[in-house]
Amino acid sequence: MPEENPLANLDEETQNQIQEIQFLEQGFQQLMMQKRAFNSELNETDLSLKELEKATGEVFKIVGGQIVIKSTKEDLEKDQKHKKELIETRLKNLDKQEKELSERIEELREKIMKKISSKPK
């Protein structure tokens, strides 16, 4: 005798909650990809600041990936520090979103599990 699928006869609310979890998990994965990208950019910015501290003489910056422009060490440090602040702010916002998404996913999972485990067999 085939086993009955416990999810087959769920009410509409529970099915909607399962769909919401799937949607939230997709958003969570996208958020994590963004965090990885920003962390990578933050590491690159930190590295450029360290190299800039060691620099003596002329310094240059690359603009648009194709143009090299002569600049001052002070201007480049200012630009890189500002960039670092923006990235850190963005990462803090992503951390907050990550926490909120995780909490919502867990809340929905708990509701669904209560409903499934309380269903008569």
Per-residue pLDDT of 70-94, as tens digits, reads 999 999 999 999 999 999 999 999 9
Instruction: Give me the percent of the chain exceeding a pLDDT of 70.
Output: 90
Cα-based distances in Å from 86 to 28, 48, 94: 22, 16, 12
Kindly list the structural domains of the chain, giving each domain's residue range(s) and its CATH number in brackets, ordered by start: 12-116 (1.10.287.370)
Residue 4 has pLDDT above 70, yes or no: no
Per the CB < 8 A criterion, the answer to whether 45 and 80 are in contact is: yes
Q: What is the pLDDT of residues 6-30, one digit of tens each?
A: 566 778 888 899 999 999 999 999 9
Q: How far is CA 54 from the centre of its chain?
A: 32
